[in-house]
Amino acid sequence: MLNIKRSAAAIPAQDVKRARQFYEQKLGLKPAEEEADGGAMYRTGETGFLVFQSTGKASGEHTQMALEVDDVSSAVSELKSKGVKPEEYDYPNFKTKDGLVDLPDGTKGAWFKDTEGNLIALTQRVPAQTPTR
């Protein structure tokens, strides 16, 4: 069994300076650590993520990181005020309205892309139900 101390997402950036400006100016994060190549580790609550220099390009077709917030609607409003555009989806069982979706289990969500095309989710989770015996 692995003795894992912590885990973190790694978010690729073709232009790490531009990506860092996005995370620091739009999301209000401060780097906890800075890499020699300009990348940065950001701490978010008990976890964190790394933005690193990469020659690869994000597909933007699947969620690459989720950020849990207390109020998705307020978070989306704040991001919109900073020029961040939420993604819109229209599928048979999944449709956003003004960038927001209410899921059957009570979870609320939204998605946006960073400057590098990485798809980031915002989620407002509801506590899981504990089965009774």
Asked if the structure places residue 21 within a domain, the reply is: yes
What CATH number has the domain bearing residue 75? 3.10.180.10
Q: CB-based contacts of 112: which residues, under 8 Å, 6+ apart?
A: 79, 84, 85, 86, 87, 99, 119, 120, 122
pLDDT band for position 130 (50/70/90)? low
The parent domain of residue 18 ranges over: 9-54+61-124
Task: Say how many C-beta atoms besides its own lie within 10 A of residue 133's C-beta.
Answer: 3
Q: How far apart are CA 73 and CA 101, in angstroms?
A: 10
pLDDT tens readout for residues 83-121:
999 999 998 888 999 999 998 888 999 999 999 999 999
| Residue 3 forms part of a structural domain | no
List of residues 6+ apart from 87 with CB closer than 8 A: 96, 99, 110, 111, 112, 113, 119
Q: Domain for residue 130, yes or no? A: no
pLDDT at 41: 97
- What does the pLDDT look like over 14-28, one tens digit per residue? 999 999 999 999 999
- The residue that leads in pLDDT, 65 or 127, is 65
% the chain with pLDDT above 90? 74
Are 126 and 68 contacting, i.e. CB atoms less than 8 angstroms apart?
no
N-to-C CA span, the chain: 30
Tally of structural domains, the chain: 1
Domain membership flag for residue 131: no
Q: Quick check: is 1 in a domain?
A: no
User: How distant, in Å, are the alpha carbons of 59, 73, 110, 129 from that of 123?
Assistant: 21, 10, 7, 17
pTM: 0.88
User: Given pLDDT bands bounded at 50, 70 and 90, which one contains residue 5?
Assistant: confident
- State yes or no: pLDDT of 43 exceeds 70: yes
Whether 95 is in a domain gets the answer: yes
Helix (H) or strand (E) holding 74: helix 72-81
